[in-house]
Amino acid sequence: MPRFHSLRLALLLALSLGQALAGTSQDVPPPLVPCVALSFDDGPDTTLTPRLLDILAREGVHATFFVVGKRLAYSPGLVRRAFLEGHEIGNHTYDHRRLTDLPDDEVVAEIELTDEAIIAETGHRPDRIRPPWGQIDARVETALRKAGLWRKITPWNLDSLDWLDDDASITELLTSAAPPGSVILMHDVHASTIEAVPSIIRNLKARGFHFSTISGLETCRGGKPQGLTVATTLAGRIPTDASKSLAQALREFKPFEDYIIHRFGS
């Protein structure tokens, strides 16, 4: 295998393994029902988000969208459509700037302006914030609390790495092998991500997974999935121990060595 490809693949797997095993800020509790939450950041995109919503509607899957406030101005109606179709809407700041680098007044504006844009579309203030790059600190928290804007900060525990490698097959590989209880990070501003989503859903359904918004994930973990239909479970495909590594899940999902040879050459 060429050295460049080996290093590239090693980086992708190392980053994804770190997310799956350690989580961004919390561990994944063992679920009674195998569940997963798909989340999409950085949209809406006028071309790609409607395609994604069509796919999710066709598959009967609900997801969580963390939207960038300024993008709502040139994609009117998309967040409203997502909300009305049962998807969860979260706040991903107005300009997608690193909150920990901003003064307090700009931190407040990033969240407040996005709330206002979402409320104008949905009539509902989002219950969750996902700061860009997942970065937040005590000073940012204090500023938001003083402004009455503090609420659930929502990280992820499995990064699809679609932002790092614009390749649908790699996004599909890393995401389809998610352990139960995963909150998966993807972005609805990459065409390769939208291309990968149907296969990701199909593969996770084949492993017996139920799909949920992030807010509904605890209910699903508690053994009460929200009426979603999944395909018949394939024997031996469901990881029974939530502590299994992503590498183990990948080996169960498909022969990983064969994939490497096919994707990168021997």
Instruction: Using pLDDT thresholds of 50, 70 and 90, give the confidence band for residue 165.
Output: confident
Per-residue model confidence (pLDDT) at position 223: 64
- The SS3 assignment for 67 reads strand
The residue length of the chain stands at 266
Q: Are 48 and 194 in contact (CB under 8 A)?
A: yes
For residue range 42-88, what is the model confidence (pLDDT) as tens digits? 999 999 999 999 999 999 999 999 999 999 999 999 999 999 999 99
Match domain 3-7+17-264 to its CATH number in 3.40.50.1370, 3.20.20.70, 3.20.20.370, 3.40.50.1110.
3.20.20.370
Per-residue model confidence (pLDDT) at position 227: 45
Per-residue model confidence (pLDDT) at position 98: 97
How far is CA 210 from each of CA 107, 225, 259, rounded to the nearest angstrom? Answer: 36, 7, 26
Closest residue by Cα to residue 178 from 50, 51, 36 = 36
Q: Which residues are catalytic?
A: 41, 187
Per-residue model confidence (pLDDT) at position 170: 87
Q: Over range 116-121, report the average pLDDT.
A: 98
Q: How far apart are CA 225 and CA 160, in angstroms?
A: 24
Query: Where is average pLDDT lowest: 84-88, 230-234, 247-251?
Result: 230-234
Instruction: Name the amino acid, one letter, at 79.
Output: V
Structure tokens at 199: 């296969």
How far is CA 218 from each of CA 47, 59, 117, rounded to the nearest angstrom? Answer: 32, 22, 28
Exposed (0-12), middle (13-18) or buried (19+): which is 141, by Cβ within 10 Å?
Answer: middle
Q: Over range 151-176, report the average pLDDT.
A: 90
Per-residue model confidence (pLDDT) at position 13: 57
Q: Over range 177-194, report the average pLDDT.
A: 94
Q: Has this prediction a pTM greater than 0.85?
A: no
- The SS3 assignment for 221 reads helix
Per-residue model confidence (pLDDT) at position 28: 52
Per-residue model confidence (pLDDT) at position 226: 53
**Residue ranges of the domains in the chain?**
3-7+17-264
Q: What is the pLDDT of the chain when averaged over all its residues?
A: 80
